[in-house]
Amino acid sequence: MLLLSPIALVFSAHSQQKALPVSPPGTGAPAPLESHQLAADRLPTDTARVFSLQDLADLVFANHPVVKQAALLSADAQAQVQQARGGFDPKLASGFDRKLFGGTDYYNLWANELKVPLLPGGIDLKAGYDRMVGTYVNPEHRTPLNGLAAVGISVPLGQGLLIDARRSTLRQARILVTAAEADKVKQINEVWLQAVKDYWNWYYAYQQAVLIQEGVELADTRFQATSRRAILGDQAPIDSVEARITVQDRQVQSEQLQVELQNARLVLSNHLWNKEAQPAELPTYAVPQVPRLNAVDTTQFAQLRDLAANRHPTLIKLDAKIRQLGIEERYQREMLKPVINVSGSLLSRGDFYRPEMPAYYDIGWNNYKLGVDFAFPLFLRKERGKLQQTRLKVQDATLEQQQSRRTILNQVNAVYNTLKAYERQLTLQAQTIASQRTLLQAELQKFELGESTIFLVNSRETKLIDLRLKQESMRASYEKTLAELYYYAGTRTLGAEPNAE
């Protein structure tokens, strides 16, 4: 896989994979101290190797394909709005038809029309020019040789006066923009939640590998000291066997955890892409940041609940759906009205611009065309059926929104309770680790005085390692739960709006 260039900027060029320290072999050197303990928490000494959660966020939001794909939802919704606005585009139409046979000009027809839809009232403004001459042209359509010009309007007085298909489509398309934005935010939040979980899984795998490797070094140090004492006759040879078994057991664990660390690094790399849309891989020398374990107080929790109840992407999308169906319901009610379309045009000869043209051929109230269309289904079964269906959809969406809001709030409450439980557990775990360190230190002192056994020392130390591993697991789980809390509230951070990029 390609190395992600932004990641290379995060880490310094001189950063390399550093080998863990090992005890010098051989029995000629002085016996190493056996009172060493597992190190406490410590920050990475080489900060250039740290690949932080913010670094991950910068890369995911800039280059992740699913994030880019989610942005297409808004573009698609805007394209639908533009398409709906096309229903109000002016239209220019022209047609020409002529027949000449046996020296007879049967007909010479040329019709032109410009129609300009107006948004209020479904009115269409019309302007036209027709020239229809010839021997066999229908007298009611025949025009003067210079043609006939017309300017008029078409107005729906019944069905389509308050809302028609064009206005309904445009208004629904505008609402779909809001729904698309909410859907985009939801998809990006899902990507980010999974990325955060994979990041803290990588952190836990890294901490496991480090702790067990440190345990291997401590056990190996103790084994070498015990072996030298056995050679000098100061300790029973069987103790060196016991110490070696502990070393080998931890080495097996270390090998297994190294594989898990590699796999966790690969899983996290699934979210890493460069600017050229090529997959990238997290460098092996990268290390995770230390968990911040930021507590969520009651004020912040109240803000998250407010976000979840009012501005969650799922609820925004359902609200847009309800408003869209409301427009559709209004349109279907309009369809219950009879069709009454009135059209009228003022007429003039085609050469109206000539000053010698008689006044009675000019545009005026005495020269006009007028038409009225009327239609009305007697039973309205089709229209009433569509209206009832739309109302049922509105009720369905409203009930879905109510259930979704309740589910979301309960999820936020449940995750918050889990987060608080982790806070209490982490406090108790830190106290337990401190007590276990004291117990191990006392056991090591007794061992130095010959009042304890290597088995007890290794048991105390293994217990301490297990407690530290559990602590790191709880830290990673806390951070993942915190990310879930923001996700269920419909955001990524408390300071970001749910519909923000």
Asked if 301 contacts 295 with a C-beta cutoff of 8 angstroms, the reply is no
Output the CATH code of domain 2-7+47-82+169-322+396-488. Answer: 1.20.1600.10
Give the pLDDT score at 31: 38
Average pLDDT over residues 30-37: 49
Q: Which residue has the tokens 């987060």?
A: 419
Classify 369 as helix, strand or coil: strand
Is residue 405 over pLDDT 80? yes
Cα separation values, 151 from 110, 139, 370, Å: 17, 21, 12
Give the pLDDT score at 144: 86
Is residue 12 over pLDDT 60? no
Q: How far apart are CA 477 and CA 208, in angstroms?
A: 14
Q: How far apart are CA 296 and CA 494, in angstroms?
A: 10
Instruction: Name the nearest CA neighbour of 468 among 133, 213, 182.
Output: 213
Average pLDDT over residues 41-56: 78
Give the pLDDT score at 449: 82
Choice among 243-252, 343-352, 367-376, 386-395 with the minimum mean pLDDT: 343-352
Residues whose CB falls within 8 Å of the CB of residue 235, separated by 6 or more in sequence, listed in order: 226, 229
- Helices 165-232 and 237-269 pack at an angle, to 10 degrees, of 160
Q: What is the pTM of this model?
A: 0.82
Average pLDDT over residues 367-392: 92
Burial of 480 (0-12, 13-18, 19+ CB in 10 A): buried
Q: Percent of the chain having pLDDT more than 90?
A: 66
Average pLDDT over residues 71-97: 93
Domains of the chain by residue range: 2-7+47-82+169-322+396-488
Is residue 2 over pLDDT 60? no
Classify 430 as helix, strand or coil: helix
Average pLDDT over residues 166-178: 93
Question: Any idea how long the chain is?
Answer: 501
Q: How far apart are CA 125 and CA 377, in angstroms?
A: 28
CA triple 432-434-438, angle to 5 deg: 115
Strands 91-101 and 339-349: what pairing?
unpaired
User: Backbone phi, then psi, for 165, in 5-degree steps?
Assistant: -60, -40
Asked if 297 contacts 304 with a C-beta cutoff of 8 angstroms, the reply is no
Give the pLDDT confidence of 420-477 residue by residue, as tens digits. Answer: 999 999 999 999 999 999 999 998 888 888 788 888 988 999 999 999 999 999 999 9
